Amino acid sequence: MSPTTTPCPDQSVLLALAAEDVAAPEDRSHVAACPSCRRTLRRLRAEVVHLRSTAWAERPPPPTGQTPLDDPPDE
């Protein structure tokens, strides 16, 4: 199965990849092989950077490669 034969993922998938670097392995493979999705991803990344520098200025970006575990214990 070649990654180029998979359908383009939804834009929300590309947005999650752009914003949080979160995507299913098959979506990652597709984006890596699909010029159209790479272009969309690059545009979304630019938008995310812009948003983080403005609207989300108070919140630090989540650390990459980590799952946030900020669920407090119920006591």
**Would you tell me which residues interact with Zn ion (CB under 5 A)?**
8, 34, 36-37
CB of 10 to Zn ion, least distance (A): 11
CB of 29 to Zn ion, least distance (A): 11
CB of 52 to Zn ion, least distance (A): 25
Q: What gap in Å lies between CA 29 and CA 67, rounded to an integer?
A: 22
Tell me the one-letter amino acid at 43: R
Q: Which is nearer to Zn ion, 24 or 51 (CB)?
A: 24
